[in-house]
Structure 1
Amino acid sequence: MKKLIFLILLLTCGFSKAQETSDSLAYKKRVLENTEVDFLASYYTQDGNNAAVSGGIGTEELTDGTSTIVVSIPLNADDVLTVDAGISAYTSASSSNVNPFDGGKDANPFQASSGASSSDLWTNLMGSYSHSSDDRNRIWALHGSMSTEYDYFSLGFGGSYTMLFNEKNTELTVKANAYFDSWKRLYPYELRPFLSGGQGLSASLFNTHTITGNADYQPLFSELTEKKRNSYSAGLALSQVFTKNMQGSLLLDVVQQQGLLSTPFQRVYFADVADSYIDEFQLADDIERLPDSRFKIAVGGRLNYYLNEIVVLRGFYRYYTDNWGITSHTASLEVPIKIGSKFTLYPSYRYYNQTAADYFAPYETHLSTESYYTSDYDLSTFNASQYGFGLTYTDIFTGFRLWKLGLKSIDLRYNYYERNTGLTANIILFGVKFVAD
């Protein structure tokens, strides 16, 4: 009888433990409770007078509109599939001057041409899959992407692995990505007759337009042999909750690029070559030429401090350097201010400065004897400031309904950007998040 009672107790305990485990698994918190849909849009404008397309002089006027939809779908309690699709349309006075002679007016680097190169369409599609362990202390993710525009195509692949420990107060993430890009080599229009097999000065362009200055135009131009660019990156992020009011993180990213790293349609003008013009546009002496490899490393950190239930301080700093001679510092501060239960204001400021690449020089400063050269002011010495302001509306109860979607948040932000080189830009960002039933 004692053995029978003992056996019954043992089976009962085992059943209870199994039931407890089953219930625990049945009711574990899902990584994502419902499908979420984000609609994002941005509008960007810029202006300046250091266009790389025209050798460091000329208009940098550009406008760009982008729309994106992001759908996150919970496949089960542990797995989430995310699909991100975007399209961007731009018009650019700068890139229109890839062919400045097709607008029906006198060519001028400070005015836009109306040809085909004045606008373009960029499309992007990305999918990602993430899996979380039962205890939510391990997360791994994979993603793939594809993007294309008129002269460019890119495929990307990557993944990450995240570990949480110390009662989820410490988080470590490692990630790796690879991108395989291909260029359609689009050269400045006046250089195309000098490609192998071209007609040179007897081409129709020079028969229908008069060359002034040095009429014996003979550019130092040869076709690029490379049209692919591969980029490989790895990153490490360590986040730590220090106190109930303070959280910080350390970030490390390294990137190795190989292949065509210069832009084929960006002109360069030499100080030791006589100038040739059609109308008011100076004909290129050559295109931008840069090394076929580049190594980048960036180290940074974030520190967030919760002052009270109204104000939070979010600080960021990053140091960057590469083997082209550029070093840079980025510092930013954002101060979310909660207004009531549903609205938050986001004033922010960002400062950036960098040294010039070894291969940069302004308009007509390079010499034709150099191996590498560019007049792209993105690679120059400059400092920049960005002033931002945003407003977010959040409703965790999704009271407003649109069909089967509940409105979770609305986000509107504006940023003004300026460089000491004269470039200015305005950026408007808008986002709406819905949660499906």
Structure 2
Amino acid sequence: MLSLFSFFKLTAQIDQDSSNSYKKRVLESTEIDFLSSYYTQDGDNAAVSGGTGTEELTDATATFVVSIPLNADDVLTIDAGVSAYTSASSSNINPFDDGTANPFQASSGASSGDVWSNLTASYSHNSDDRNDIWSAKLSVSTEYDYFSIGFGGSYTKLFNEKNTELSISANVYLDTWNAIYPIELRPFGENGNGINNSLFTQNTITGNQNYNPLFAKFKDETRNSYSIGFGLSQILHKNVQGSLSVDIVKQDGLLSTPFQRVYFSDVADSFIEDFQLADAIEQLPSSRFKVAIGGRLNWYLNESFTIRTFYRYYFDDWGINSHTASLEVPFKLSDKFTLYPSYRFYNQTAADYFYPYETALSSYDFYTSDFDLSKYSSNQFGFGISYNDIFTKAHIWKFGLKSIDLKYYKYDRNTTFGSSIVTAGFKFVMN
């Protein structure tokens, strides 16, 4: 690793173009970002248990981003991250493996936690006049029931003395599920023994004892996502910058989550202990088309205050329409410290296929009790502080500490759902 960094440092010396004139480097030296976060949530509408039950979850992440200047024009960036979570909700994929089964308490089985891993490599090239930027990326991520590979690229054009910027980007993600179903439905799949399974013979079914769910395994466990984005940024005044963006996404394949239960209003309830047995799993269309249109306006008031505003309108062919508006007012305390108070409002209509607990009919083609697809509104308040030192006086080995960012966000929906997240970021520069 030391020899690798020595090579990149050697190639990072002052470059000259074909006319032997000085050319400013896109990135002067290798930078390393360490990002981490701790997230918690809770609520009473877990999709795993059909729109009722605990949504308690905790998640901790750690990410390293290494940006390496290959020469004056090109930068290679490696992004590697892991996310480890424990979830009372997903633990109830099998609620019968520990203690008394209840949708409002966690099971300690294998589905109570997992680790998500991601590796992304991206390459960018800038033209000699810095008015044209090309980039390409490749990513791989994996989880216990999911694998994804993605690739994409972008092109950015600056003109009008760099006061105007146009960009286009495109990405493709090819995903594969390793479908995991609610434990009580598995015996009713192909080659299963149904009600004669030991889960039912060794436990007492109460309520409707003639338990006979509507269940078949998904035949296609792939999902492909294709996106294209357009952006326009314009300096409107020496103190004002605005931007517009349009993002279009097309998804095909398995868009249902295999372990999310649904309970029908026209089927009698069956229980083992205090847990209601699923009538079916979530069924959603195999295609989805999404469009998001957004705009930003940033206003530099003076040396201390800046106002950043954002608005986005979203719609898709599942019936969801949403509005997002946010405001951030960075306040510069000194040349090194800045405060970041922020607020974000969001609301959306319900998907055509959303039905709360025990409201869908078994005759419907599509249904879900996932409250992420319900009608709701939310508020998020945030506060952050950043430290910047362009002279990187503090050092760890050969790297100088350039910046520290700490932020906290509190999020609440007009349902029972709420969450909090703390993030921290550290940027180091090779000297």
TM-score, normalised with respect to structure 1: 0.94
Give the equivalent residue in structure 2 for 1:38. Answer: 33
Partners in 2 of 1:131 and 1:196 — Cα distance?
Answer: 52
Bigger Rg, structure 1 or 2: 1
Aligned pair 1:175/2:169, yes or no?
A: yes
SS at match of 1:63: strand
Aligned pair 1:223/2:220, yes or no?
A: no
Q: Which has the higher helix share?
A: 1
- Alignment partner of 1:22 out of 8, 14, 19: 19
Q: CA deviation at 1:119?
A: 0.3
Give the equivalent residue in structure 2 for 1:72. Answer: 67
Aligned pair 1:54/2:31, yes or no?
A: no
Q: CA deviation at 1:21?
A: 6.7
Give the equivalent residue in structure 2 for 1:83. Answer: 78
- Alignment partner of 1:200 out of 185, 194, 205: 194
Partners in 1 of 2:336 and 2:170 — Cα distance?
Answer: 37
Give the equivalent residue in structure 2 for 1:243. Answer: 237
Correspondences of 1:282-321 after superposition (within 5 Å):
282-321=276-315
Write out per-residue CA displacement over residues 149-184 of structure 1, whole angstroms, 9 at most, x where no aligned residue.
100000000000000000000000100000000000
Partners in 2 of 1:421 and 1:361 — Cα distance?
Answer: 15
Aligned pair 1:273/2:267, yes or no?
A: yes
Q: CA deviation at 1:401?
A: 1.1
- Alignment partner of 2:87 out of 87, 92, 105: 92
Letter in 1 for 2:51: G
Partners in 1 of 2:247 and 2:18 — Cα distance?
Answer: 41
Letter in 2 for 1:38: D
Give the equivalent residue in structure 1 for 2:414. Answer: 420
TM-score, normalised with respect to structure 2: 0.96
Give the equivalent residue in structure 1 for 2:398. Answer: 404
Partners in 2 of 1:21 and 1:120 — Cα distance?
Answer: 53
Partners in 2 of 1:21 and 1:167 — Cα distance?
Answer: 23
Q: CA deviation at 1:225?
A: 1.1
Partners in 1 of 2:30 and 2:17 — Cα distance?
Answer: 29
Q: CA deviation at 1:406?
A: 0.4
Could you list the structure 1 runs, at least 4 aligned residues long, displaced by more than 3 angstroms after superposition: none
- Alignment partner of 2:178 out of 170, 184, 189: 184
Q: CA deviation at 1:223?
A: 1.3
Write out per-residue CA displacement over residues 171-218 of structure 1, whole angstroms, 9 at most, x where no aligned residue.
001000000000001000000000111011110101111100001100
Q: CA deviation at 1:23?
A: 3.5
Aligned pair 1:338/2:332, yes or no?
A: yes
Partners in 2 of 1:189 and 1:21 — Cα distance?
Answer: 67
Q: CA deviation at 1:292?
A: 0.1
Partners in 1 of 2:150 and 2:218 — Cα distance?
Answer: 24
Gap change, CA 1:20 and 1:133, over 3 Å in 2:
closer
- Alignment partner of 1:144 out of 138, 143, 151: 138
Write out per-residue CA displacement over residues 253-274 of structure 1, whole angstroms, 9 at most, x where no aligned residue.
0000000000000000000001
Write out per-residue CA displacement over residues 368-423 of structure 1, whole angstroms, 9 at most, x where no aligned residue.
00000000000000000000000000000101111100000000000000000110
SS at match of 1:372: coil
Gap change, CA 1:258 and 1:77, over 3 Å in 2:
same
Partners in 2 of 1:390 and 1:208 — Cα distance?
Answer: 54
User: Where do 5+ consecutive residues of structure 1 fail to align?
Assistant: 1-18
SS at match of 2:195: helix
Give the equivalent residue in structure 2 for 1:7. Answer: none
Partners in 2 of 1:22 and 1:161 — Cα distance?
Answer: 26
Give the equivalent residue in structure 2 for 1:11. Answer: none
How many residues in Structure 1 have an aligned counterpart in Structure 2? Answer: 416
Partners in 1 of 2:330 and 2:19 — Cα distance?
Answer: 42
Partners in 1 of 2:393 and 2:321 — Cα distance?
Answer: 49
SS at match of 1:59: coil
Partners in 2 of 1:226 and 1:319 — Cα distance?
Answer: 32
Letter in 2 for 1:101: F
Correspondences of 1:388-403 after superposition (within 5 Å):
388-403=382-397
Write out per-residue CA displacement over residues 30-73 of structure 1, whole angstroms, 9 at most, x where no aligned residue.
00000000000000000000000000000000000000000000
SS at match of 2:19: helix
Partners in 1 of 2:65 and 2:100 — Cα distance?
Answer: 45
User: Does the 8 Å CA contact 2:167/2:230 hold for their aligned counterparts?
Assistant: yes
Letter in 1 for 2:120: M
Give the equivalent residue in structure 2 for 1:15. Answer: none
SS at match of 1:340: coil
Partners in 1 of 2:49 and 2:17 — Cα distance?
Answer: 72
User: Does the 8 Å CA contact 2:57/2:86 hold for their aligned counterparts?
Assistant: yes
RMSD: 0.9
Q: CA deviation at 1:22?
A: 2.7
Give the equivalent residue in structure 2 for 1:101. Answer: 96
- Percent identity reads 68
User: Does the 8 Å CA contact 2:17/2:23 hold for their aligned counterparts?
Assistant: no
User: Where do 5+ consecutive residues of structure 2 fail to align?
Assistant: 1-15
Gap change, CA 1:428 and 1:207, over 3 Å in 2:
same
Correspondences of 1:124-143 after superposition (within 5 Å):
124-143=118-137
Q: CA deviation at 1:20?
A: 10
Partners in 2 of 1:78 and 1:341 — Cα distance?
Answer: 30
